[in-house]
A and B are shown apart, each in its own frame.
Chain A
Amino acid sequence: MTEDSSSSSGVDLARKSGFRLRVVLAALLLLFCALCIVLLRGCTNDPWPSGFSSSDTYFTNYSSEFKTFDPAVSYYVHEGEVLDSIVEMPVCYDYLKRPYELVPMLAESVPVPVYYGKSGEVLTGDPPSDAVSRVEYLVRVRRGIKYQPHPCFGVSPDGKGAYAGVDSKSLKAYSSLSEFPVQGTREMTAVDFKVAVTRLCDTRLASPIYSTFASFILGMDECSSLIKAEVARLEQESQSCGIRLESYPVVPDYRTLPLAGFELIDDHTFKLVLSRKYPQAIYWMALHFFSPVPFEALEFYAEPGVVDAGYSFKNWPVGTGAYMMTECKLREGLTLVKNPNFRDEFYPSSGSESDKALGLLADSGKRLPFIERIRFQYERESIPIWIKFLQGYYDTSGIPSDMYDAAVTLETNGDMGLSPEMAAKGMAMTRSVTAISYYLGFNMLDPTVGGLTPEKKKLRQAISIAVDYQEFIDVFMNGRGVPGQSILPPGIYGCVEGEAGVNPFVDQWDAESGKTVRQPLARAKELMVEAGYPNGIGPDGKPLVLYYDASGSSSQSKATFLWLREKMSQLGIVLEERLTDLNRFRDKIRTGQWQLQFTGWVADYPDPENFLFLFCGENGIVATQGRGSNKTNYSSSEYDKVFKRLETMANGPERMALIDEAVKILQEDAPCCWGYHPMSLVLTHGWLKNYKPHHVGKTFMKNLRIESEARTEYQKRENAPVLWPGYLVVLLVLLVGSWRLYVWRS
């Protein structure tokens, strides 16, 4: 009896506890389903903060992180796109004109050089380099140009800087410099250029262009030593005050430190003095290294309170440009907004007929900038960028290799065109050849492939014929490139396109297709015979073995090597790969311990000198113990003579003839198998206006215009969430869950 009652009370207890559990589970199930429905209703794939997508904002992205926006240090293209929207230079490139043409920006006019002879007399015309002992550029900067609003210009009632001695705690309440309560501005003056140029000499900044500038601006090395001494003195003072130097670096007064190459004439005029004739100096004035730096900004960013609050000049540049930084998270994203103090600047009113046809002149004469805000978003992977572009959340995009077939179709004439699917979405595709040359270099110091004897030249020419870069472009780059005829890329002065520009030693003109094609392989085999390697067999009776030196072993580089080996085998040459890590590879380049390597050069400025100097004998990387850029170690007295003449000459028929001569020498000597010039393919949405790629200048953002309403409409159309699968899943969960609970009860 006792046993029975305890057993039945145990069962009751179990039933009650089971019932309670079922109730709890049923409630949880309902709650879960309700939560799912609420979440589904709130779904959106809009990656931007509320209201951003429909605003007048240009959305773009970057996949390599930004390192610095300090104009003395920044040297990467993607950094330049941001920085050059904030700061301005004495001159810049015309947005529409091709070939690239310099126009005044902060300067009243494009400065012209004045040459002085050895006895100080002014030399007229275009004097030879050796007659010139001094060059002066007189730069008159425009009056009334004001800096962006910035706390560094803020003044307290007692006349001192508003943030002198500020406590970091009071600044940490703000998330951006633009939120600081006291802002100010002032007129830009010539002294600010003095600060900018003198700062380049500060060893602590390790400015990447110091060596280049020091080679032509007078007195930079001396100035560098002076700054070093001044910094040591200031550091000693700081240390005696107990200031931690690693956290709060001292700032020497760059305004007063003497630099022989920079003469201040008055508030709006300065003179840049060069130690030698170097006409390309004007192109450097179009780079942000020459943008004015207000000394107040350096003082502001040196304030311990400002440093502790996390602000620095390298992240928050100050300038006179069309935009100013309002958010800076280097590994997340940046936001620029219109500079309210931006001077009167207007959209260019002259361009080519094709510009007109593309509607690029529709905004002629309108005040710049057009767009209120620019958002740079850090995106490391190409697929998310592509999807967001299709969804209308980015305004432009490149074409990832995986998506090439979806975006591009081949037209009947073999050209690339936009796929009908993309065209139907209102997109446009812009194609342009970049100012970059990639090539397969031969080490001219190598006993097998180097040297200038006729046999060696023929060996290199034969290899150049066999290595067909049009095929490489088709196989590895989806056709996005142009085979090189010389080191000069299309668009650079001196590059001859069409039949006249054909490399006669390697290529030939195909009149039918109107394109350059490689000479037949039989010609390469003939050259091999003349070089002493019939069918690739050397005088010793063994096959010629060459070595391809490379760093890294990605699948792409492996595939490239296999392709090269297959091409060489057509001539009977055995190609072997020598892989090393990047550091050892660089050592091999510096010491000349290599045979073949694939390399390239990106233009600093649109002048042939910037490419042809890569083959000047005195720039040989081995000869200069690593200082030169002539990686192939090519050295030809004939070429050097021609190069030295054209190097500093003004563009004109005489220079053109010399460039032709230099190119012909290089084509015959073949220190490289001229590779290709990559083509940039950019897709833009229909609402983005005035887009024209510029491969040298980076000041283009102010010219862009967005039709935000069209974008919003597209975004709404393309991004309405598909909710029924979600509801279906919720319903299934509800049904299955209920059934399980019911079965359990039973």
Chain B
Amino acid sequence: MLAYIVRRILYVIPTLLGVNVLVFVLFFLVNSPDDMARQALGEKNSDPVQVERWKEAHGYDVPLFWNGNASGIGRVTKTVFFTKSLSMMWGDFGKSDMTHESIGDEIVRRALPSLCVTAPIFLATLLINVFLAMLVATARGSVTDRVTQFACVVFMSISTLIYIIAGQYFFAKLLRWTPVSGYLPGLDCWKFLALPILVGVISSLGSGIRLYRTLFLEEINKDYVRTARAKGLPEWQILFLHVLKNAMIPILTNVPLQLLMLMMGNMMLENFFSIPGLGGYTITALNAQDFAIVRSMVFLGSFLYVVGLLLTDICYSLVDPRIRLG
């Protein structure tokens, strides 16, 4: 097991290096440092002198991959790739092109508000989806099942944006239960988080219930369930102690991958509810064309995805001892 984990961690390094190179090439092919300077300076001030000064001030005045003017190791290290991209491999995300603030510090600061939104959504969605899916699965073919399936399709068909606007209008404007948007640190945050969490949970219900219902239906018709029923076990015990345990593997396949969403935040919710998390950070950076932040967030996303996959594999072996890693 340990050997497997170590080996997987070692695999992560070349994978991330590949992602790093790919992200750099994509970004700098689309947007040269000159273009970035012009975008940052705006229409009025982007004359060639200003462009050169901006590049110099932001460290883009060196070659992209190979610095022929430098000597020794400087030929590699005094390049845009090394200073702006490769450094992300050791956690140095550099500074924002627009605000000059440390991206690493900002990521750390914004992770908590993001988690405050995404973690409750994740947990509540998981619990509600599993619970409802199980109930619906037991009533397969009944009117309840059909109505629920229809409702799920309706829920899935509605855009998250509609949920957000409707939620803001209904709960914040008509009922006046929560603020429309905003965030305050500390205990005051609950009044701002209640609505985005509710919207996040409702918008995830349709697809979640349908997915888990299918998983439970597969399990519920197996022989061990029939045996348990024949033994006279109460239905709730069969469902929650036996079916749920056996359905955990496919559930776990889905769950650790949510790590990405948990850490990176929910862009749309954070944007509309003005929550200072990582999702909103990314959206703001995209709007402001702050490519240093966008690059960092893409790289961080890839990193979390790889970590999520690793966790999935480890969870498999914990839940199902038949699966042996290594």
Query: Within 8 Å CB of B287, what residues of A?
Result: 64
With A44-B191, A726-B175 as given contacts, are A384 and B50 in contact (CB-CB < 8 Å)? no
The reply to whether B50 and A206 contact each other, CB–CB distance below 8 Å, is yes
With A330-B101, A331-B280, A387-B168 as given contacts, are A379 and B274 in contact (CB-CB < 8 Å)? yes
Query: Which residue, A206, A379, A604, has most C-beta atoms of chain B within 10 A?
Result: A206
Complexed CA–CA distance, A719 and B45 (Å): 46
The reply to whether A64 and B288 contact each other, CB–CB distance below 8 Å, is yes
The reply to whether B53 and A583 contact each other, CB–CB distance below 8 Å, is no
Query: Within 8 Å CB of B317, what residues of A?
Result: none
Interface residue from B32, B100, B181 paired with A379 (Cβ < 8 Å)? B181
The reply to whether B42 and A208 contact each other, CB–CB distance below 8 Å, is yes
B251-292 vs A, CB cutoff 8 Å, 1 = contact: the mask equals 000000000000000000001111010001101100110000
The reply to whether A47 and B56 contact each other, CB–CB distance below 8 Å, is no
Query: Within 8 Å CB of A384, what residues of B?
Result: 168, 180-181, 272-274
Complexed CA–CA distance, A625 and B51 (Å): 13
The reply to whether A47 and B182 contact each other, CB–CB distance below 8 Å, is yes
The reply to whether A310 and B105 contact each other, CB–CB distance below 8 Å, is yes
The reply to whether A629 and B280 contact each other, CB–CB distance below 8 Å, is no
Q: Report A333 CB to chain B, min CB distance, Å.
A: 9
Complexed CA–CA distance, A310 and B105 (Å): 9
Residue B24 interfacial (CB < 8 Å): no
Interface residue from A18, A46, A310 paired with B234 (Cβ < 8 Å)? A18
With A332-B183, A627-B48 as given contacts, are A381 and B178 in contact (CB-CB < 8 Å)? no
B166-192 contacts to A (CB < 8 Å)? 168-169, 172-184, 188, 191-192
Q: Report A723 CB to chain B, min CB distance, Å.
A: 8
B145-200 contacts to A (CB < 8 Å)? 165, 168-169, 172-184, 188, 191-192, 194
- The closest CB in chain B to the CB of A61 belongs to B274
With A210-B50, A380-B280, A726-B177 as given contacts, are A45 and B172 in contact (CB-CB < 8 Å)? yes
Residue B47 interfacial (CB < 8 Å): yes
- The closest CB in chain B to the CB of A621 belongs to B47
Complexed CA–CA distance, A583 and B180 (Å): 37
Q: Report A68 CB to chain B, min CB distance, Å.
A: 7
Interface residue from A47, A331, A383 paired with B281 (Cβ < 8 Å)? A331
B188-242 contacts to A (CB < 8 Å)? 188, 191-192, 194, 232-234, 236-237
Complexed CA–CA distance, A662 and B48 (Å): 29
The reply to whether A68 and B100 contact each other, CB–CB distance below 8 Å, is yes
A32-70 contacts to B (CB < 8 Å)? 39-40, 43-47, 49-50, 64-68
Complexed CA–CA distance, A387 and B195 (Å): 15
The reply to whether A65 and B284 contact each other, CB–CB distance below 8 Å, is yes
Complexed CA–CA distance, A312 and B95 (Å): 14
Interface residue from B44, B57, B234 paired with A14 (Cβ < 8 Å)? B234
Residue A176 interfacial (CB < 8 Å): no
Complexed CA–CA distance, A208 and B184 (Å): 35
Query: Within 8 Å CB of B44, what residues of A?
Result: 75, 208, 602, 604, 629
The reply to whether B56 and A583 contact each other, CB–CB distance below 8 Å, is no
The reply to whether B271 and A380 contact each other, CB–CB distance below 8 Å, is yes
Query: Within 8 Å CB of A390, what residues of B?
Result: 173
A674-711 contacts to B (CB < 8 Å)? none
Q: Report B234 CB to chain A, min CB distance, Å.
A: 6
The reply to whether B176 and A68 contact each other, CB–CB distance below 8 Å, is no
Q: Report A314 CB to chain B, min CB distance, Å.
A: 7
The reply to whether A10 and B288 contact each other, CB–CB distance below 8 Å, is no
With A208-B45, A210-B50, A582-B39 as given contacts, are A43 and B176 in contact (CB-CB < 8 Å)? yes
The reply to whether A721 and B175 contact each other, CB–CB distance below 8 Å, is yes
Interface residue from B42, B99, B175, B274 paired with A330 (Cβ < 8 Å)? B99
- The closest CB in chain B to the CB of A207 belongs to B53
Residue B299 interfacial (CB < 8 Å): no
Complexed CA–CA distance, A18 and B178 (Å): 39
B56-75 contacts to A (CB < 8 Å)? 56-58
The reply to whether A627 and B100 contact each other, CB–CB distance below 8 Å, is no
- The closest CB in chain A to the CB of B110 belongs to A331
Query: Within 8 Å CB of B53, what residues of A?
Result: 203, 206, 210
B31-58 vs A, CB cutoff 8 Å, 1 = contact: the mask equals 1100100110110111111100110111
Complexed CA–CA distance, A314 and B99 (Å): 9
Query: Which residue, A331, A378, A629, has most C-beta atoms of chain B within 10 A?
Result: A331
Query: Within 8 Å CB of A39, what residues of B?
Result: 194
Q: Report A544 CB to chain B, min CB distance, Å.
A: 30
Query: Within 8 Å CB of B48, what residues of A?
Result: 625-627
The reply to whether A380 and B284 contact each other, CB–CB distance below 8 Å, is yes
Residue B98 interfacial (CB < 8 Å): yes
Complexed CA–CA distance, A583 and B43 (Å): 11
- The closest CB in chain B to the CB of A386 belongs to B180
The reply to whether B42 and A47 contact each other, CB–CB distance below 8 Å, is no
The reply to whether B276 and A381 contact each other, CB–CB distance below 8 Å, is no
A346-378 vs B, CB cutoff 8 Å, 1 = contact: the mask equals 000000000000000000000000000000011
Residue A586 interfacial (CB < 8 Å): yes
Residue A17 interfacial (CB < 8 Å): yes
Complexed CA–CA distance, A629 and B35 (Å): 18
A706-746 vs B, CB cutoff 8 Å, 1 = contact: the mask equals 00000000000001111001100000000000000000000
Complexed CA–CA distance, A68 and B101 (Å): 10
With A47-B182, A383-B168, A388-B180 as given contacts, are A209 and B45 in contact (CB-CB < 8 Å)? yes
Query: Within 8 Å CB of B236, what residues of A?
Result: 21
Interface residue from A209, A383, A581, A720 paired with B176 (Cβ < 8 Å)? A720
Residue A558 interfacial (CB < 8 Å): no
Nearest 6 A-B pairs (CB), nearest first? A47-B179, A384-B181, A208-B45, A206-B57, A47-B182, A583-B35
11 A-B contact pairs sorted by A residue (CB < 8 Å): A43-B176, A44-B176, A45-B179, A50-B188, A203-B57, A206-B50, A329-B276, A330-B99, A381-B181, A384-B168, A726-B177
